[in-house]
Amino acid sequence: MKKNNNNIFNWQADRSKYPELDKNGKPIVDLASHKYTKIWQGPNHPGVTGNMSLELTLSGDEIVDAKTHVGYLHRGFEKLMERRIYFKGLATSIRMCVPEADSNEYVYSSCVEDLANIEVPEMALWLRTLALEMARLQVLLRTVPGQASTLSLGLGGQWGMYIRDLILDRFEELTGGRVYHMFIIPGGVRGLLPDGFKKRMEENLKEVDEFVEKIEDLIYSNSIFKKRTVGVGVIDPSWVSKYGIVGPNARAAGFKRDVRKDYPYLKYNELDFEVFTATDSDIYTRNQIRKQDLITTVDLIRQILAKMPDKGELRAKTPNVLHWEIEKGETYQRSESSRGEYGMYMVSDGSKYPRRINLRGPSYTHAVSLLEKMLINANIADVHSIMVSLQTCPPEIER
């Protein structure tokens, strides 16, 4: 590596040590030459990026080739659901992304409802919208400060996990569960808001507001965080459509993509919110977009609680769920998860079991094809930070 004396954090690669490329653009690496080193990062389960493995080829401390390896988690969710009756498939769907299981509940239930021509009651639509935004909030409370934790700034992550736990308290109060909720079910939802729920949620949201102010100084004004994230892990705008990039990763590259605006569902067309974009498309910018998403989500929850009725029908009438046969058909239903478009394709053959289920999770493209592209020329010290900035969920890949 050649050092740029103007900035101790700015390094330029010595390209004379880099491998030549074959006709397919792949590096020609001869490990016997001792110019390159191959190492493996992961798998180790404790982190969200630890559920998969990276095979890295290095020239010094710079990456010249990267390959992703998955298969270390429980797999086969789609096929498991195809062998379960419609109502039982719900409990399997939520395992496809544990941190934000409610998105799975929604797209699965929405597919069943579309195939069975079920109209969800008004009250249930509001409660579903609330549950999805609460899910987004608790994910972002971990993800936004978690980016700094990849650079050994763990205080923000600890604060975020505490505030997130308060939102999980509200989930437990509403659904009976903290992580897996199964609150959104085919036909509607399982219950109304408990007494005093709105007041307790508002108290939690005020703590979130204070938390956002704290991390503004702790993270975004931190010189080391900026030096390690500004200009690092840049997503070229030309990759966005090619690799199917969605959510904050796309919005940080200047693409105004949000399913809630592009394909309104539930009660989002009755809510007032903006979709923010940026153009620098590096780690710092993606994290800033997610911070803005967090602020927007807090505002949306307040709007939902103010606009939703106090009571109403919770669920449409459905046949006996143990003997529910759905007419032949196919459908694709989508939502905007914290990671971007999250959709499910479902086919019915007229039996009690779905003929085919396929999940469209953003992690499949972000954590495989995109990550392998982004890691080329990156420093090995930035690998974990780049992975976290893409906000991947490995179970979506091994579905």
Instruction: Quote the pLDDT of residue 190.
Output: 95
User: Tens digits of per-residue pLDDT, 81-101?
Assistant: 999 999 999 998 988 888 899
Q: How far is CA 366 from CA 43, 179, 359, in A?
A: 18, 24, 14
Q: Which two tokens stand for residue 349?
A: 């053959």
Q: At what angle do helices 101-115 and 122-149 cross, to 10 degrees?
A: 150
What pTM was estimated for this model as a whole?
Answer: 0.91
**Per-residue pLDDT at 48 exceeds 60:** no
**3 state SS of 336:** strand
Instruction: Quote the pLDDT of residue 43.
Output: 79
- Give the distance from CA 157 to its chain's centroid: 17
Q: Do 185 and 159 contact (CB within 8 A), yes or no?
A: no
Residue 155: CA atoms inside 13 Å, Cβ hemisphere, count? 9
Q: Residue type at 312?
A: G
Q: For residue 240, what pLDDT band results from cuts at 50, 70 and 90?
A: very high
Q: Which two tokens stand for residue 130?
A: 């609330």
332 forms beta bridges with 345
DSSP secondary structure of 57-118: EEETTEEEEEEEE---S---HHHHHHTS-HHHHHHHHGGGSGGGHHHHHHHHHHHHHHHTTP
User: Tens digits of per-residue pLDDT, 142-189?
Assistant: 999 989 988 888 888 899 999 999 999 999 999 999 989 999 999 999
CA distance linking residue 324 with residue 186, whole number of Å? 11
- DSSP alpha helices (H): ranges in 308-338? none
Q: Which helix (H) or strand (E) holds 329?
A: strand 329-337
Q: Residue type at 151?
A: L
Ordered by where they begin, the domains of the chain are 77-397 (1.10.645.10)
CA distance linking residue 20 with residue 2, whole number of Å? 20
Candidates 297, 269, 271; CA nearest to 134 is 297
Residues 6+ apart with CB under 8 A from 92: 77, 80, 81, 84
Q: For residue 309, what pLDDT band results from cuts at 50, 70 and 90?
A: very high
- Give phi and psi for 5, each to the nearest 5: -70, -15
